[in-house]
Chains A and B, each alone.
Chain A
């Protein structure tokens, strides 16, 4: 090893000074920011308010997921309203298939909640590692000692640290030692890593755009939930939900729409319609997880909003049950 020392000065050409050569900073700071994104960028993968009411019965909810390719830990948060002081058991399962009646693997619990204060919203939070190939998540509540209302279920990526090694999503952790040496080289790879790392995290963490979730259980049969037709809507589509999502900054997005629905009999095709503004998709009520995609135009800007509505159809003399509708977005699609 040697330190080369020219015997004559190397005169730097003027154009070089138009943009000065890089030093460790601010590149070091920007790369550390990408590590920050990996650890702390936490858009919700699961967010639903179940169609539910106060009860002590057991109940389960199933939602479609597309977890991180890195098999990350996710924090699950359950907001529960107990009528009086008591507890409820919480369980989370994953499924790599599309059939919600089989193939479940326990990922958490059943674990008894802390003491829920009567008349107040309580937060139960815990970690669950979601395998990259999980397609479904089932959240169950059982053994309630008092009447409870399940207010909201939230799950977001929450890795405890940034471990060494290239990740399946394409993220390359930045080791601060790479730029710590005085006078050390700044490689093209490190410069490119600012972009590839940030976009790897962005694209790997799908964001939930919409949800409408009813209980999955068939026993007791459909004890709280809505099925088509209602008394009024026989022969017509029944509106079952409407709300507004926001995708800030976006003017167009391709969204993934997932549905689990079933019928008491008859044909299953095109019974569930999800409307996005003036566009819509129709999905089948096969009892399995079905999905499709839709390209939606948005106004752009901070308030780039998207109205979403769900309608349920039925065939003559039959009933359609919508258990779960979820819309996911991968930024960039």
Chain B
């Protein structure tokens, strides 16, 4: 049993010897364990960027496909979606959707979540009135075989190595992924 763990790398000293400063340190299993854990920790260290863009107006088009680099052992993610508009109109905005190649792009496959905003869609403060901005995060509920649109966690390509995942986002002005579920046992990958 080996649980995944991304170390806090702050202040790590790359030049420091694993075996310390002794001239002839004894062979130690703890060295092997530490060295092994470091390598696994590096393999899991994938930040997910905050992508800022316009994908929520007629001029820009409302669909974007993104290539996300996913580290090993990642199972499910939540999506942070930025919405923006103006309060000049009362009609509700269309719901944003996020789908992954792993989970599919069909209507029932994608995670949908309303922005909570009403009004015409514009891009931040670029219009003639102040923009209304909201960042919404998708849910963390895992639905293995969704049969209806809903707000849920996004399935990722769980495996022993990293991969590039197609993600499609609609009606958004910003996007970021956050891996929330990992394989419980790296040895089982």
A residues contacting B by CB (< 8 A) are 16, 19-22, 26-27, 30, 33-34, 36-37, 40-44, 47-54, 77, 79, 81, 121, 123, 149, 151-152, 154, 156, 170, 186, 188, 191-192, 194-203, 207-212, 224, 226, 230-233, 236, 238-253, 300, 302-303, 305-308, 310, 325, 327, 329, 331-333
Contacts and interface: CB of A to CB of B under 8 A. Distances in A.
A33 B61 CA distance: 43
A41 B49 contact: no
Nearest to B182: A302
Q: Name, among B18, B19, B26, B131, the residue most crowded by chain A CB atoms within 10 Å (CB to CB).
A: B18
10 contacts: A33-B39, A36-B161, A43-B46, A52-B53, A121-B65, A151-B64, A198-B38, A246-B176, A305-B178, A332-B14
Contact of B67 (A50, A54, A77, A149): A77
B175 A243 contact: yes
A19 B30 contact: yes
Interface size class of B (residues with CB under 8 A): 35 or more
A305 B126 contact: no
A49 B82 contact: no
B128 A232 contact: yes
B177 interface: yes
Nearest to B174: A243
Nearest to B128: A231
A66 to B, nearest CB: 14
Interface string B150-175: 00000000000110101010000111
B44 to A, nearest CB: 8
B49 A44 contact: yes
B125 interface: yes
A208 B32 CA distance: 31
Contacts of B126: 226, 230, 238, 240
Interface string B12-27: 1011111100001111
Given A151-B64, A230-B125, A251-B8, A242 B47 contact: no
Q: Which 4 A-B pairs give the minimum distances between C-beta atoms?
A: A194-B35, A241-B52, A243-B174, A249-B6
Contact of B19 (A188, A201, A244, A253): A188
Nearest to A306: B50
Nearest to B177: A246
Contacts of A30: 32, 35-36, 39
Interface string B33-57: 0111011111111111111111100
B129 interface: yes
A224 to B, nearest CB: 8
B32 A192 contact: no
A112 to B, nearest CB: 21
A248 B45 contact: yes
A81 B30 CA distance: 52
